[in-house]
Amino acid sequence: MIKECSGRIGRFGRIEVMPRLFVFLVILLAVGAGGFFLYKTLQGQPVTQEKSINQSAATASPAPAVTQSSDPCEILVKGSADLPPLYSGVSWSEPETGVYDVPLRGEAPQKIDGCLIRTENVMEKISSEIRRHYSLEKYAWENLVVADGMYSSTVSYRSGDNYFVFRSFPDPKSPKGASAPPIIVELFYAQ
């Protein structure tokens, strides 16, 4: 007894599934390559010098203080009317000024002078808490770019001429293939 097949039969008696599978694999490869390219494009590569600071000294008051400073590092650490103070509970490096690549919507990253501060060896859960702490939409900042990947993310904001970037990524010194690698978190503020 011969059973009927619901698919089309090709020249050699096989069901023509291969063209659909090929198209699916090409689309999957293109999406993966595009995501990897976006991730690599949005990575800022600042030069940093690590110095540990006492977190309790950096955040003396838990509420954002209205800072009328022209020093971006002071605003990044102490906060302002539209930027929360430095996230407490982790050790941060000494803030430093320099040029940083800020990802912009629909454009190539732009090099902007500002202040960078980072923390190393935090767990992914802490990295997510820091990111939520700096959800600046509630302060009327415009969200420019959001890029998420495995254990990494980049979020950039603009408010007038001010820019803020949250970036997290696995520590490059961690063992390859670690199930939960330690995370580095960078915060950048420019005015």
Q: Do residues 95 and 49 touch, judged by C-beta distance below 8 A?
A: no
Going from N- to C-terminal start, the domains of the chain cover: 1-42, 47-190
The pLDDT, as a whole number, for residue 8 is 55
Q: Is pTM beyond 0.85 here?
A: no
How many beta carbons lie within 10 A of that of residue 97, not counting itself? 13
Instruction: Please give the order of strands across the beta sheet that includes 183-190.
Output: 96-102, 110-122, 183-190, 162-170, 152-159, 142-149
- The predicted pLDDT at position 26 comes to 74
Model confidence over 129-153: pLDDT tens digits? 999 999 999 999 999 999 998 889 9
Q: Which of 119, 81, 80, 75 is nearest to 97 (CA)?
A: 75
Give 146 or 28, the one with higher predicted confidence: 146
The residue type found at 167 is: R
